[in-house]
């Protein structure tokens, strides 16, 4: 990173950390953007240079997860199946971030259940990411996937991740290693019919 990039990364992280502190102490709806900016020692104008809305603070790694999936698809091996590529993307995310296991993840799940605006943001984010990954996957594996089977495969993958996190982080943050292991186990179960097989358009998984 250049010095400017490092400074921006630190400011961004300061805003996320300040938001998590205030959300835990005061609650989501009671915390304002001005409160978060002040706690991070920046102005509200600076805040909007990093996040468009307060909801965005709860989803800071969305772009990183999407990039991990796109990179895994682009770097696929000649014998990789679509399911193996998705599982590799999940491993990359787990190695690079605690976004699936830390206190922000626990807060995010809590507010998705409690706050309509956060729930709406979560649904929109998940839909956008799923559609983009499914599109890229279908383009990368045209002989094995069409638009429908790719959407089904990615839906099973994302559903397994979401379901596992809802159980694991229901009460509190967890150790990143244990969360990663459990999420990988859940996705392996969900994608078992496809691992080692192709998914031929118009039919069931086949060898």
Task: Provide mean pLDDT across the span 170-192.
Answer: 75
Q: 143-176: per-residue pLDDT in tens? A: 999 999 999 999 999 888 888 887 776 656 566 6
Contacts of 99 (CB under 8 A, 6+ apart): 60, 61, 64, 65, 93, 105
Burial per residue of 16-35, b for 16 or more beta-carbon CB atoms within 10 angstroms, e otherwise: bbbbbebbeeeebeebebeb
pLDDT for 4 equals 86
207/204 Cα distance (integer angstroms):
10
Query: All domains of the chain, ordered by start, with CATH?
Result: 3-52 (1.10.10.60), 59-201 (1.10.357.10)
Contacts of 179 (CB under 8 A, 6+ apart): 100, 101, 165, 168, 169
Residue 9 tokens, joined: 């990364």
pTM of the model: 0.78
In the block, tokens 């383009």 appear at 139
In the block, tokens 């990789």 appear at 80
Which among 72, 66, 75 has a CA at the least distance from the CA of 87?
72
pLDDT for 205 equals 38
């Amino acid at each position: 990173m250049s010095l400017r990039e490092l400074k921006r990364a630190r400011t961004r992280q300061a805003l996320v950390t300040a938001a998590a502190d205030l959300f835990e102490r005061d609650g989501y709806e009671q915390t304002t953007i001005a409160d978060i900016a002040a706690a991070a020692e920046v102005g509200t104008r600076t805040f909007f240079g990093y996040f468009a809305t307060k909801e965005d603070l709860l989803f800071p790694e969305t772009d990183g997860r999407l990039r991990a999936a796109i990179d895994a698809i682009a770097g696929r091996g000649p014998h990789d199946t679509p399911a193996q590529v998705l599982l590799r993307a999940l491993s990359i995310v787990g190695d690079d971030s605690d976004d699936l296991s830390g206190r922000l993840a626990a807060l995010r799940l809590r507010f998705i259940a409690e706050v309509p605006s956060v729930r709406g943001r979560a649904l929109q984010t998940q839909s956008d990411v799923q559609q983009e990954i499914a599109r890229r996957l279908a383009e990368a594996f045209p002989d094995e996937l069409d638009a429908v089977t790719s959407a089904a495969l990615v839906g099973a993958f994302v559903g397994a991740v979401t379901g596992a996190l809802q159980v694991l982080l229901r009460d509190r943050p967890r150790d990143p290693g244990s969360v990663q292991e459990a999420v990988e186990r859940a996705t392996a179960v969900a994608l078992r019919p496809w691992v080692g097989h192709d998914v031929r358009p118009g039919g069931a998984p086949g060898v």
